[in-house]
């Protein structure tokens, strides 16, 4: 199998998220109702930028929660993989990762639920659908 050309855009796609952030979340419940809440996020790079870990604190209306995202970049496929652990059910098996890449400043990821991360513009915006 031949390797895909490595995309500098994709490989460095999550660099904008490194640091500590105040975050505003908006999630859609199965009923269609939108719920909004604040939180914090701390993201740090690992293995020379080929991976990162992101730790969240959620100030949900029902109480404080936590989550961890682990991301790893595979240069041979030019794909990122993202795994998630939720403090509400931390011992569940980890789901298969969503996978995707960045092109022209927009990251598109597919898996159990599509995810899109946008890095264009002055303020980074991440959207999970």
Name the residue ranges covered by the structural domains of the chain: 8-94
Spatial neighbors of 108 by CB under 8 A, at least 6 apart, are 100, 101, 114, 115, 116
Q: What is the pLDDT of residue 105?
A: 77
Say what the pTM is.
0.75
User: Taking residues 106-110, what's their average pLDDT?
Assistant: 84
Q: Is 31 left (phi over 0), alpha (psi -120 to 50) or beta?
A: alpha
Q: Is the pLDDT of residue 113 over 70?
A: no
Looking at residue 93, what is its pLDDT? 82
First to last CA, the chain: 33
């Amino acid at each position: 199998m031949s390797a895909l050309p490595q995309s500098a855009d994709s490989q460095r796609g999550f660099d904008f998220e490194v640091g500590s952030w105040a975050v505003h979340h908006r999630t859609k419940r199965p009923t269609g109702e939108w719920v909004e809440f604040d939180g914090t996020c701390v993201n740090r790079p690992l293995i020379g930028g080929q991976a990162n870990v992101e730790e969240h604190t959620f100030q949900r209306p029902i109480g404080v929660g936590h989550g961890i995202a682990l991301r790893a970049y595979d240069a041979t496929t030019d794909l990122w993989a993202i795994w998630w652990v939720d403090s509400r059910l931390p011992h569940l098996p980890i789901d298969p990762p969503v996978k995707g890449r960045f092109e022209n400043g927009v990251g598109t990821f597919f898996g159990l639920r599509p995810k899109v991360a946008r890095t264009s513009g002055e303020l980074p915006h991440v959207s999970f659908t």
